[in-house]
Structure 1
Amino acid sequence: MGRHDFFSKYAPRPGRLRFAVSRVAVLALVIIVLGWIAISILIAPPPSNEPLATVPLESVPTSSQSAKGSASPSGPRVTVHVVGAVKKPGVYELPEGSRITDAVKSAGGLAEDAHPELVNLAAKLIDGQQIILPGDSTQSQNPNLPAPSNNAKISINTADAQTLQELPGIGPALAERIIDFRTENGPFSSVEELDAVSGIGPAMLEKLADLVVP
């Protein structure tokens, strides 16, 4: 056997050589892919156990809430001083247009010895006004308070313009002057102080003496 025949016998055939190369290439590709996956897993950060942050949604006001939110603020108010025969004398703030009866309620109501018939409870409140509720105990402490009487009289300290015009000789202009006087100078301490109001003389004061109280 010659040398040529020896190599020809043991040399791999071309088909087998191509098949062996293909298997090696596939195996190498698989190894590369698996290695890449393993490396990716190793270098990837561990998953966080913290819960996902939730973004709170701002509540959208409903139509009813919007209506409440856009409601106009409270209107003008007046401050009055309630003293005398009430359960809780003091300074109170009430809506403009309130009546003396509302101020009395704010002061806890009438005391047991009160004489509300001496005060016009329906009169409107005036800012800065002092409301004096006559009573048996307060009369002895303050002689300027009107004495109890069976006849209802108009209080010149609390009556509004319309109520003052019920008195003889007092028209709209004079009623306004009485109100302006007590607003600027404070409440009347006696009926005789009406003489200081322009338009009220001794003759009219005599007519009013039995019809009004401070």
Structure 2
Amino acid sequence: MSRVAALVLVLVVLAWVALSIIFSPPPAAEELDSIPLVADPEHPAATEPLATLTVHVVGAVKKPGVYELPDGSRITDAIEAAGGMSKKARPELLNLAAKLADGQQIILPGTSDASATPGAPQAQGPNAKISLNQADAQTLQTLPGIGPALAKRIIDFRDKNGPFTSVAELDAVSGIGPVLLGELSELVIP
């Protein structure tokens, strides 16, 4: 008896769906008016992407300071804007090809900097923090829980996705979970 009732119920539902389609077909497609894309001269920022970014360049450059550069610029462009490298510059300790992010600080190490020796922390003092955007694999391995493989993944992530803009972005690196991120958050800067 229950099979017959289930079959009757299925047939009623199918009949109802068929009648609904027949008596109320979907509305015919209407052609929409096209709207021309014209920039609003009163609100250029609302219609155009960020054309420039602002970066702070310090360290072994001739004219440290804050500079505006075209969007898509690289660290080498920021160093050139700051008058180029000084004689003490150690460019091999910095990825000059990395893309810049708005608000980023670029620190070009020099021979008198603590970071002039590969693997040395990039800041001095008891509360020294390591820059995720400038540290090499050896420097990253000085952090707790970071070995050679994880240091390589951090650098690969940075090279693929551009510079870190916050420490929280470390969570997107494979192998760094909430616990390790919590330990690192007080030891690193973007």
Q: For this structure pair, what is the TM-score category when the shorter chain's length is used for normalisation?
A: 0.3 to 0.5
TM-score, with structure 2 as normaliser: 0.44
The answer to which structure has the higher helix fraction is: 1
TM-score, with structure 1 as normaliser: 0.39
The structure with more radius of gyration: 1
